[in-house]
Structure 1
Amino acid sequence: MQRSAWMENSKSWMPFWSEPKTKCSVYGVCGSFGSCNDFTSPFCNCVKGFRIKSQTDWDLGDRSQGCERMTALQCGGLNNNSASSEKDGFFEITNVRLPDSPNTLATAASREGCELACLSNCTCSAYSYNGSGCFVWHGGLLNLQEQYNEADAGSLYLRLSASELQTSERNKKKVAGWAIIGAIVLAILVSIVPATLIVVKKRESRRMIEKAKAMQSGLVSFSYSELQQATRKFSKKLGGGGFGSVFKGSLPGSIDIAVKKLEGLYQGEKQFRAEVSTLGAIQHVNLIRLIGFCSQGTKKLLVYEFMPSGSLADQLFRSNSNVLDWKTRYQIAIGTARGLAYLHEQCRDNIIHCDIKPENILLDDALVPKVADFGLAKLVSRNFSRVLTTIRGSRGYIAPEWILGMSITTKVDVYSYGMMLFEIISGKRNLMHTGESSFEFFPLVATNKLIIGDIKSLLDQRLEGKANSEEYEKACKIACWCIQDDENSRPTMSQIVQALEGNLDVSIPPVPRSLQVLNESWTKSINSSSSHQS
């Protein structure tokens, strides 16, 4: 279901509300004993101990039949006196939206009592215990959602056969066993190292190893000298922008990091740490993870996870890089939109990125996109005019209302995303030199061809036409809607996600007047510059 508003200028309908907003908000979408997760692909999976009931239906996109148990339960576990049989147990699933239709047991006053009550009933499939009491479920579990961060999230204890639980226990024991063996081997190696070297290096190495381990659970505070050592005195520069330069580093345990030296920062120590703490708490599969920081006098640095595949700009524009296929590009577009939607709509304080461009979309070893540099605009807010000037050097990504000095909203990121989406489609920069004194502004070309129905020539020629025509036509339409002059005509990032995933229809947009003006202005400016140089 969706609602649309009539846009008089374009004589078309603009969607402004739709349901469902996410796949997991559809009731029972993954069926009985199916678990839904908006951040994974596929979004439906069977819970532990269960398998897909009808693989054919799942392959066709229908998961409503859900999953079936792989190993039967020992019904009446507490009353089963067979010496050979083992009692059922429970597997904990944390941070989930609990299934619908629970039964409340007022007689159970503890988690152990709740577990006992469930175990003694043959039909009990799972239980949950919290401050509100004991809840049990009989039969199938519907509407279970993982990675659920709302206030009503909880832990579910899923009833499984003893053999299923023993498999998990054996795996844990294997890991523990190898850990013990590793510890013994390490102790032997350490014992034969000359005592003088141990005394000299022991303290510093231990501190850095502890910090490397601590990064798994929270933000780590580094000293400036530690980051100098990790980056070999900032010798390998990865890139730079309006907020500072980035350098590659390495921590003990072969952990690669990216260290950003912030420039133009005037915040006090307390305020800086508070802002960094907020950024460190933001976790999303499509956002770069902040793992540490340094605040030492005027020196302010941020430590991020390192992305081995570089930036989207590297993959799209470097002549020596492999050509990204269309499927990968489309997934990058969706992932980036998800990350921005999370910043705009799901963070406690909504975050405007202010500098979306291919250089700020990083890719991991599986080419999963991670939005970088989010939240930095606020860190340098006292000197933001300088940053804005620098960002304007990224020609063509800044929304017209920002250039005109008007107040900005999340729609400036939508505009920048649209400009970047054009580059994902074409595989080249939006402003291209096409002759001795001739330039082509791709977004203007794309919007004009979109209106007349000629979009085949818009696709990156290196793909040789190997792309889903429905997807790149949809991407062209979305990109054009993103760069509309009136910010109210632009979609939200969550609407963009829905449209890219095929859950929202996209109409043909009008050609923004600002595109034509911008194209004429740039052409005159570049031609004038060329004539002066000659």
Structure 2
Amino acid sequence: MKLIIQLSYIFLLSTSISARTFSDYVNLNFTASYLEFIGETGTFLFSHNKTFKAAIFNPGGQQTSFYLCVIHVASNTIIWSANRDAPISGSGQMNLTVKGITIADENGNPKWSTPPVKSLVYKLALTELGNLVLLDHSNGSLWESFQDPTDTVVIGQRLPVGASLSSAVSDSDLSRGHYNLTISASDAILQWYGQTYWKLSLDKNAYKNSNDEVEHMAINRTGFYLFGHDETVPVYQVGLPLTDFRIAKLASSGHFTISSFSGGNWKQEFVGPSGACETPLACGRAGLCTLSTVSSAPVCSCPQNFHANSGNSAGCVPSNGSNSLPFACGSTDYNSQSNSSVVSFSQIGYGLEYFSNIYSDPVLDGVNLTVCQNLCSSNCSCLGVFYKNSSGSCYMIENALGSIQSSDKGEPDVLSFIKINVVPTKTTNDDTDDKQTSKNGGFPMAASVLLPIAGLFLFAAVVFLVWRRVTLPKKEEVILGKFNSHSSEDMDAFYIPGLPTRFEYEELEEATDNFKTLIGAGAFGTVYNGVLPDKTVVAVKKIMNIGVQGKKDFCTEIAIIGNIHHVNLVRLRGFCAQGRHRMLVYEYMNRGSLDRSLFGGGPVLEWLERLEVALGTARGLAYLHCGCEQKIIHCDIKPENILLQDQFQAKISDFGLSKLLSPEQSGLFTTMRGTRGYLAPEWLTNSAISEKTDVYSFGMVLLELVSGSKNCSYKSRSHSMDDSGGHSSNSSTTGLVYFPLLALEMHEQGSYLELADPRLEGRVTCNEVEKLVRIALCCVQEEPALRPSMTSVVGMLEGGTPLPQPRIESLNFLRFYGRRFTEASMIAEENDRSSMMPQQARNSTDARRGLQNGFSYISSQSISGPR
């Protein structure tokens, strides 16, 4: 009988004629099976433009499991499946009734159905977004596939707080896997058996825009977002290249990926977690994962006392064949374990890491190892412990055991143990011991021998503790006295929160080849190229001539930068505070600072490269202003402090002049800081200094990106001004031009191309220049309240936020400054051309100095100096 059914099935596959496919929607009492629509590979419904299709589909070409799926036609990618945990055969059916969708097997037994609806169903529609919708007679939505997501989100779909994505087992088995992406009120979180292994908030590519509570996750043509109640300002954002179609998917490997489809190919744009060893099963159960030095793939091995599993599943098992790895209570394998085994712990090494420990708190602090292990032994869900000697912190692995991570950054005082089942073996000696015990009235003979020895050790321990209490304080006084006579600050440095790696002076001296290669210099010190023992190239900033302010800036940089991680901020790798030496060790940026690429004589920065620099800088500032626990104002944004890596990725450096502001603080500083030419007017008017001060500086940098030259420089121009600041003639002059004023004038005339860097030679359009000029002018408005936030600036640069019109009345101050610079330029030129009497020269020089002092914050001189 079974053979007849199989032959009939094969016959149907070869002879069936497909039913007619539908567009947009199907009406009531519709049925579909794979066999009915075999010629269309199970497809029975297309969206209006055939972007998506609905089908009874068998992923991977296998012939046993069929699912109701919504599929992106161009890429043949499944974006949603209905009966993922209850597949049917090719003859199973989907039925559309007034109650909704029902999927039944070949015998008519229901396997899946839509939840109860509030009114009668009229039809089933498939939208151009890929949303499968049940509609009533008035075309009102009764149920949507977007509200019941599986492992994928598409453009136009929202994943609200409390909802989650669940991975599939594989590409051909759509059953629910063990990886979940959950949206909380503050984050997007990846978990495996309840163990967190990734958070969007801690990803280096994400930055925070606001402190609102998250309401939903979404992707669109410009990026990946967690939105709050305000749809215009995302709480978290990952900027991505502009595209028409992209998906976010939780893959069967546990990675959360975002990919775009164009030109017939998928391009992966984002992956979390990004580390090769950061997914739970990177090397299987109890496997040891090590990062490869030659490729992005992990290197898998086994920890000590373990060897590779010879079975079908990857991972490692105890080397002693009589021992086994336990399963947590509640799992399907728990009841099959041997009840005669004894729980023990196998140490697997020092300094190892576990993927979930960095996302969770220890279950206990300040305890000894025995307490930690006993707690795990009494908990059937606990499968291992990580114990930190220095703090007595106890971390437990619960519910499932994943891969262990080997890292040179691991803490050496962390002890790692995996729980194992040990099967005891009864020996002759055991029987003899039992008999001896009974002869002694139940008191073990071993105890009668060991107790006197234990007492002796206890007495010795008491004597040692008394001696230590008497002698140690004296030794500490001597040691601390020597230390304080050398440098009292060295001890304080250890207690700065978020302290990065501490380097000895000799290490950095060797890394820099005795400070041989100078790559930068500024008011606070010099920067040298260095190579660490692990071949990492770094930039070592040697702080010189430290006064009170210098020490303060040094400590500020360590405290602030050590706790900040963002793709558009330079990473502080470590520091040196040995004796009188003060040094900071940064990641090396191989293209140097922006001023070298923009103003130097090398290859011209193309327009798209300038846009990338502008966007990266804006994202970094937005993170400083909104993404940190406390608001951080940079106070010294300029091209010298914007460093570039390959592909012109911009990173903001130099937080030595930053100030941490809590919400309660007024925002006032006591001293002016920053660089002339980029300082906002409020520095000179005793107004409050806020994050809008950075916005002003960014606007000035944006204008320099447009022109390719300093905002105050000598160039030809065909405009002059009357006494009121208006245009009076078209004569051409060469002199000191204040470019922000020129940008304002050209904005008023709509002549934006005249502002573009002439070296671009027509490789930029008027609209492209207009966009940056309008954003820049909005940023440099005199009233801080009128300037946009950096989050809004990011949206403008990405194209998601409409461009506002700058207020001319708030930019008129530029005419005053520009006129004064023109006058200063004319005086300087006159002095160069004329032969004056000594007294006249002095008068002219004094006049020029008076002008420059009056408007010094627009000159290009540096107060803090590039570092």
- TM interval, shorter chain, is 0.5 to 0.7
More displaced stretch, 357-366 vs 297-306: 297-306
The within-5 A match list for 1:423-462 is 423-434=704-715, 438-462=735-759
Aligned residue-pair number: 388
**Deviation at 1:411?**
1.1
Q: Which amino acid aligns with 1:176?
A: V
The equivalent of 1:255 in structure 2 is 536
Counterparts in 2 of 1:302 and 1:442: CA distance versus 1, 3 Å: same
Which residue of structure 1 aligns with residue 604 of structure 2?
A: 323
Structural mapping, 1:111-150, within 5 Å: 124-126=176-178, 147-149=200-202
Distance 1:458 1:267 in 2: 40
Partner of 2:626: 345
Query: Shift in Å at residue 354 of structure 1?
Result: 0.9
Q: Which of 640, 644, 649 is matched with 1:368 structurally? A: 649
My pick for the range that moved more, 487-496 or 424-433, is 424-433
Aligned to 2:140: none
1:303 aligns to what?
Answer: 585
Deviation at 1:366, TM superposition (A): 2.2
Is the 1:243–1:387 Cα contact (8 Å) retained in structure 2? Answer: no
Superposition TM-score, scaled by structure 1 size: 0.61
Asked if the contact 1:73/1:160 (under 8 Å) is kept, the reply is no
- Aligned-partner SS, 2:299: helix
Does the CA contact (< 8 Å) of 1:53 and 1:68 recur in 2?
A: yes
Residue 524 of structure 1: CA displacement?
Answer: 2.7
The CA distance in 1 between the partners of 2:682 and 2:563, in whole Å, is 31
Distance 2:551 2:524 in 1: 18
> TM-score, normalized by length of structure 2?
0.39
* Residue 437 of structure 1, CA deviation: 6.2
Give the letter aligned to residue 560 of structure 2.
T
Residue 614 (structure 2) aligned to one of 326, 329, 333: 333
Q: Deviations over 1:57-79 (max 9, x none)?
A: 99xxxxxx98479xx99979xxx
- Measure the CA separation in 2 of the matches of 1:215 and 1:532: 66
User: Structure 1 73/251 Cα, relative in aligned 2: closer, same or farther at 3 Å?
Assistant: farther
2:699, 2:777 within 8 Å by CA — same for their partners in 1?
Answer: yes
Distance 1:277 1:246 in 2: 20
Give distance in 2, aligned partners of 1:73 and 1:520: 74
1:25 corresponds in structure 2 to none
CA distance in 2: counterparts of 1:55 and 1:334, whole angstroms: 34
CA spacing shift, 1:214–1:503, aligned 2, 3 Å: same
AA in 2 matched with 1:475: L
Query: Which residue of 2 is the match for residue 406 of structure 1?
Result: 687
**In 2, are the aligned partners of 1:332 and 1:369 still within 8 Å (CA)?**
yes
Deviations, residues 439-492 of structure 1 (Å, cap 9, x unaligned): 222111111111221112211122122225433211110000111111111111
Structure with greater proportional strand content: 2
Equivalent position of 1:520 in the other structure: 819
User: Is the alpha carbon distance of 1:280 and 1:491 closer, same or farther for their aligned partners in structure 2, counting shifts above 3 Å?
Assistant: same
| Displacement after TM superposition at 1:159 (Å) | 7.8
Alignment of 1:64-103 (within 5 A): 67=79, 101-102=162-163
Q: 1:176 corresponds to which residue?
A: 299
Q: Cα distance 1:290–1:452, how it changes in 2: closer, same or farther (>3 A)?
A: same
State the one-letter code of the partner of 2:782. Answer: D
Measured after TM superposition, the shift of residue 255 of structure 1 is: 1.4
Q: CA deviation at 1:507?
A: 2.9
Instruction: Flag structure 2 segments of 5+ consecutive residues without an equivalent.
Output: 1-51, 53-69, 89-150, 152-157, 168-172, 191-197, 203-207, 218-248, 255-278, 291-296, 304-406, 412-497, 661-668, 717-732, 834-867
Look up the match of 2:72: 54
The one of 764, 788, 798 aligned to 1:467 = 764
SS in 2 for 1:420: helix
Per-residue deviation, 1:245: 2.5
Cα offset, 1:402, TM superposition: 0.9
Matched-pair contact (CA < 8 Å) for 1:126–1:158: no
1:126 deviation in Å? 4.5
- Percent of matched pairs sharing the same residue: 36
Please give the alpha-carbon distance, in whole angstroms, between the structure 1 residues aligned to 2:683 and 2:552.
30
Deviates more, 1:349-358 or 1:507-516: 507-516
Give the secondary-structure state (helix, strand or coil) at the position aligned to 1:505: coil
- Confirm or deny: 8 A CA contact 1:326 1:467 kept in the other structure: yes
* C-alpha deviation, 1:278, in angstroms: 3.5
In structure 2, relative to structure 1, the CA distance for the partners of 1:274 and 1:458 (3 Å cut) is closer
SS of the equivalent of 2:575 reads strand
**What is the letter of the counterpart of residue 229 of structure 1?**
E
Q: Secondary structure at the match of 1:450?
A: helix
Q: Which residue in the other structure is 2:354 paired with?
A: none
Q: Which stretch shifts more, 239-248 or 214-223?
A: 214-223
CA drift at 1:341: 0.4
The residue number in structure 2 matching 1:160 is 252
Deviation at 1:293, TM superposition (A): 0.7
Provide the rounded CA distance (Å) in 1 between the counterparts of 2:817 and 2:686: 16
C-alpha distance in structure 1 between counterparts of 2:671 and 2:75, whole Å:
56
2: CA distance, partners of 1:419 / 1:57: 45
Counterpart for residue 487 of structure 1 = 784
User: Match of 2:794?
Assistant: 497
Aligned pair in 2 of structure 1 residues 223, 405: CA closer, same or farther (>3 Å)? farther
CA–CA separation in structure 2 for the residues paired with 1:220 and 1:355: 26
Cα gap change, 1:503 to 1:291, in 2 (>3 Å): same
Distance 1:531 1:374, change over 3 A: same
Is the contact made by 1:256 and 1:305 (CA closer than 8 Å) also made in structure 2? yes
Give 1:100 deviation, angstroms.
5.0
CA gap 1:399/1:128 in 2 versus in 1, 3 angstroms: same
CA spacing shift, 1:494–1:166, aligned 2, 3 Å: closer
Q: CA deviation at 1:310?
A: 0.9
Q: 1:533 to 1:464 in 2, by over 3 A?
A: closer
- Uncovered stretches (5+) of structure 1, i.e. residues with no partner: 1-30, 32-51, 59-64, 77-90, 92-96, 104-113, 116-120, 138-144, 181-211
Once the 2 structures are TM-superposed, how far is the Cα of residue 253 of structure 1 from its aligned partner? 3.0
What is the alpha-carbon distance in structure 1 between the residues aligned to residue 710 and residue 550 of structure 2? 39
Whether contact under 8 Å (1:307, 1:363) holds in the other structure is yes
Tell me if structure 2 keeps the 8 A contact 1:414–1:492: yes
1:270-326, CA deviations, whole angstroms, 9 ceiling, x for partnerless residues?
Answer: 99657614321100000000100112344322110000011111111111x111211
User: Could you list the per-position Cα deviations for residues 245-286 of structure 1 after superposition, in whole angstroms to 9, with x for gaps in the alignment?
Assistant: 222111123211111223545279899657614321100000
CA distance in 1, matches of 2:648, 2:159: 33
Deviation at 1:177, TM superposition (A): 6.4
> How far off its partner does 1:98 sit?
9.0
Q: Which moved more, 1:346-355 or 1:219-228?
A: 219-228
How far 1:374 moved relative to its partner? 2.3
Q: Work out whether residues 418 and 479 of structure 1, in 8 Å CA contact, stay in contact via their aligned partners in 2.
A: yes
Please list the CA deviations of residues 353-401 of structure 1 after superposition, one character each: whole Å capped at 9, or x if unmatched: 111111111011221000111254449xxxx98883xx44x4x211111
Which amino acid is 1:343 matched to?
L
Distance 2:612 2:767 in 1: 14
Question: Could you say which structure has the larger radius of gyration?
Answer: 2
Checking the alignment, whether the CA contact within 8 Å between 1:443 and 1:515 is kept in structure 2 is yes
Considering Cα pairs closer than 8 Å and 6+ residues apart, tell me whether 1 or 2 has the greater RCO: 1
Q: Which residue of 1 is the match for residue 148 of structure 2?
A: none
The amino acid that maps onto 1:354 is C
Amino acid across the alignment from 2:813: S
Q: Give the C-alpha shift of residue 167 in structure 1.
A: 11
SS in 1 for 2:548: coil
Query: Which residue in the other structure is 1:288 paired with?
Result: 570
Cα distance change on mapping 1:219 and 1:452 into 2, 3 Å: same
